[in-house]
Structure 1
Amino acid sequence: MNPITNPYAPGAGTPPPELAGRDELLRAVDIAAQRIRAGRPAKSVLMIGLRGVGKTVLLDRMRDAAEAAGIHTLRMEAPEGRSLPAILAPQLRQALLRLSRSEQAQALGRRALRALAGFARSLKVKYADIEVGIDFDPEPGLADNGDLEHDLQALLEAAGRAAQAGGTALLLFIDELQYVEEEQLASLITALHRCAQQQVPVMLVGAGLPQLPGQMGRAKSYAERLFDFPFIGPLDAQAAHRALEVPAAEQGVVFSDGAIAQIVDATEGYPYFLQEWGKHAWDVADASPITLADVQAASVTATAALDESFFRVRFDRLTPNEKRYLRAMAELGPGPHRSGDIAALLARKVTSLAPTRNQLIAKGMIWSPSHGDTAFTVPMFDRFMRRIMPADDWRDA
């Protein structure tokens, strides 16, 4: 079939042609945003889930809906090695400049920009990666103490007051939150808590790996009462079928009996993998309908594509010791696995492997579902590890 009209879209945060199975969550976040705007209480939302479940796509869809409703938004990603002030300041500047053009919010918008100027200048010594244009002179005593927890409260409250004056709200959309250091998470939680107490319309919609609730709880004990933590998992069978069938039908293409069931079984319903298998099944097929034989052939090419990109980029970031640890996990299966069982395979003590385990958690490769348990954050990574390290040499390395 024509590869130019192939509707499937595997990619990092690439929106799928049919966002199936997420309507309830999208509606819940929209309601929370509208409540915040109306001055009514609502919890911030932190979506958690493994890689490939579509958290980034959901963040962008939620942001689009908020912007369409006239709510001001900031969109950020928290990469490893960057500070929260550094990623927040430039985006907040843009939002405040937009707000300050509103006649109702002009005065408070400019005051918030002065708060941002004081915030950036006072914290530049501690967070050298802050780079933001300064449009106004700082207001002495406003968000300029040089203490992140105190200054971020003052800054978000000033920004929220400007949004409130403009009859809108301020929504922060932050992806990959698990990479924010816990001290900085604590400051963000405190600032959001203060805004909620003052009924200032500021809300966070974030996304991260499954370890995020634990990080938030360690940062501030009351975090679990301030946020909702919806778990984003694989699609159920009905939603997975829709994700594959609807885009094909729009191109006049159908799947034969058993073809979609085979894809759902191979991908376990994970949205990213559904897109990958759909793309390769389309490219393999000569004509509609896409058959079971087409899907079986596509499984070979889809797996190879994942090995070369989705899995490989994560594997290449690992040290030899980290690779051995993950290979031992893979030997035990998908998981979760007890730390003692992994140590036994490696003929090591659990305590001696703790630094390696901690490094893998910090890199976002594994997480701990419960005390002493370890699981992959990337679906099907156990199979990849067995493919890329197939022999038993890893045991003796």
Structure 2
Amino acid sequence: MDPLYNPFSPGAGSRPPELAGRENIVNDARIALARTIRGNNSQSQILLGLRGTGKTVLLNEIESIAENEGYITSFVEAPENRSLAEILYPQMRQILRKLSVLENARVAANVALSGLRNFASVFKIAVGDVEISAEPTPGSADSGDLEFDLTQMFELIGKAAKSANRGWALLIDEVQYLKDEELAAIIVSVHRVNQRNLPVIVVAAGLPQIAKLSGDAKSYSERLFDFPGVGALDRTAAIEAIRNPLIKEDIEIDDDALDLIIEMTAGYPFFIQEWGHNIWNSADSSPITLEDAQKASEKALARLDSGFFRVRMDRLTNAEIDYVNAMALLGTGPYKTTDVASQLGKDQSSLGPRRASIISKGMIYSPNYGDVDFTVPLFDDFLRRRLQQ
């Protein structure tokens, strides 16, 4: 079939043609956004899930909803090697510049821009060639304490947005890369704007350990945030994600071909897109058959092994590769850290730094005390295929 009309999109964060199985998450976000901009308290959200589950897609979808509700939005990805202050500064500046041209918000926005200038100064943020025109105001976001100063900035932006009958929606991807004190600063800032009924909402996404880390950072985080899980699609949603885009192109697919795709992808949205993309390109005509699905599986696995999986493997040292190989040889996770140590013939305590390093690289996480598992679905299968070569 003509690849020009292939409806599937296996890219990072690319919106699939059918956003199946996520209706509850999207609807909850829509309600929270609508309530917050109207001055009614609602929980911010942190989407939790493994890689390939479509968290970034959902953040993009929620951003679009926020814009339709009257929010000015900021989308950032928490980096591994830059500070939160550094990545938020240009976003906050952009928000305030947009608000400063609105008559009702001009005064409040200029007050906030003054605070932002202090914020940039105390956190030594390079502002490039363009200077903020507002004069600094002593005592405004200039303590050098991120938790205090970021809270002040959220409050100042919230007041400016409220003056314009607008809202600010901050969307943060890969939130697990925030340092503990940065995550705490976000939580305290959300707490303060909630107390003041200001139209500011945070929607973040990250790996499953973030719920625990949020609780460790601030004990009241579970009251401020909803933590919806973003996992594999159930069978009904997976079928919709595969079949509906094909129907729109007047293409049918046999049930046994569908069954094979669902089995191979385990219902994970990224892999469904990968298999869908390859099955379209493998098939000559409608209906798509089991033989087409088998050919597509070979191509999909080859692409994933040389790209998606291999890129992640290349981030690990040889010792770290030994550790994840030992996990994979134990079968399907989660894995007891004691079992991994036994597999390696090592003392568990000696493996702590190695395990911590792999966790910091976002390759594994601890779903429960004493357990580890992969953050990338089907990565254990990849490792076992690699070991058999």
**Partner residue in 2 for 1:15:** 15
CA distance in 1, matches of 2:349, 2:126: 35
User: Which shifted more, 376-385 or 67-76?
Assistant: 67-76
Unaligned ranges ≥5, structure 2: none
Q: Note if contact 1:255-1:290 (Cα within 8 Å) is conserved in structure 2.
A: yes
Question: Is residue 170–residue 202 contact of structure 2 (8 Å, CA) maintained in 1?
Answer: yes
Query: For residue 224 of structure 1, what is the aligned residue in structure 2?
Result: 222
Partner of 2:239: 241
- Structure 1 position 134 matched with structure 2 position 117: no
Q: 2:320 aligns with which of 319, 322, 330?
A: 322
Alpha-carbon contact 2:52-2:269 (below 8 Å) kept: yes
| Aligned-pair CA distance for 1:257 | 2.5
Residues 284, 298 of structure 1: 8 Å contact kept: yes
Partner of 1:85: 85
Tell me the equivalent position of 2:34.
Answer: 34
Deviations 1:347-375 (CA, angstroms, capped at 9, x unpaired):
00110000011111111111111110111
Write the distance in 1 (CA, Å) between the matches of 2:84 and 2:20.
Answer: 32
Measure the CA separation in 1 of the matches of 2:99 and 2:126.
26
Instruction: Using the TM superposition, give the Cα deviation of residue 131 of structure 1 relative to its aligned residue in structure 2, in angstroms.
Output: 6.1
Q: What is the CA distance between 1:151 and its match in structure 2? A: 0.7
Match status 1:120 vs 2:120: yes
Q: How far does the alpha carbon of each residue in 1:195-254 deviate from its partner, in whole angstroms, 9 at most, with x for none? A: 111222211100000111122122112212211110101111111111111111111111
Q: Is contact 2:33-2:69 (8 Å) kept?
A: no
Contact 1:123–1:147 (CA<8 Å) still a contact in 2? no
Superposed displacement of residue 193, structure 1: 0.9
**Per-residue Cα deviation, 1:83-128 (whole angstroms, up to 9, x for no partner):** 111111111111111111211111111111111111011111xxx6
Instruction: Tell me which of 349, 355, 358 is aligned to 1:357.
Output: 355
Q: Secondary structure at the match of 1:75?
A: strand
Give the equivalent residue in structure 2 for 1:312: 310
CA apart distance, 1:137: 2.4
Moved over 3 A (4+): 128-134
Q: In 1, are the aligned partners of 2:120 and 2:126 still within 8 Å (CA)?
A: no
Which whole-Å deviations, capped at 9, do the CAs of 1:301-336 have from their partners, x for residues lacking one?
A: 100111111111110000111101000000011200
CA distance in 1, matches of 2:72, 2:112: 14
* Distance of aligned partners of 1:252 and 1:132 in 2 relative to their CA distance in 1, 3 Å threshold: farther
Alpha-carbon distance, 1:132 to partner: 8.8
Q: Is the 8 A contact 2:338 2:348 kept in 1?
A: yes
Give the partner amino acid of 2:375.
T
- What's the % identity of the aligned pairs? 47
Aligned length: 388
Tell me the CA shift for residue 134 of structure 1.
3.4
CA deviation profile, 1:56-97 (whole Å, cap 9, x unmatched)? 000001001111221111110012111111111111111111
Q: Which residue of 1 aligns with 2:260?
A: 262
Contact 1:161 1:200 in 2 (8 A): yes
Deviation (angstroms), 1:178? 0.1
Matching residue of 1:395: none
Q: Does 1:46 align with 2:43?
A: no
Q: Distance in 2 between matches of 1:80 and 1:130?
A: 21
Question: SS of the counterpart of 1:167?
Answer: coil
The one-letter amino acid of 1:89's match is: Y
Q: What SS does the aligned partner of 2:26 have?
A: helix
Question: Under a length normalisation based on structure 1, what TM-score does the superposition of the two structures give?
Answer: 0.95
Q: Which residue of 2 aligns with 1:154?
A: 152
Measure, in 2, the Cα distance between the counterparts of 1:206 and 1:61: 13
Q: CA RMSD in A?
A: 1.3
SS state at 2:295 partner: helix
TM-score, structure 2 normalization: 0.97
Name the SS for the 1:104 alignment partner: helix
- State the secondary structure of the residue aligned to 2:231: coil
Structure 2 residue identity aligned to 1:47: L
- Larger CA deviation: 271-280 vs 106-115: 106-115
Runs of 5+ in structure 1 lacking a partner? 392-397
Residues 132 and 242 of structure 1, relative CA distance in 2, 3 Å threshold: farther
In 2, the alpha carbon distance for the partners of 1:64 and 1:211 equals: 27
- Equivalent-residue separation in structure 1 for 2:195 and 2:108 (angstroms): 19
Structure 2 CA distance for aligned equivalents of residues 112 and 266 of structure 1: 52
Q: Which residue of 1 aligns with 2:68?
A: 68
Question: Secondary structure at the residue paired with 1:311?
Answer: helix
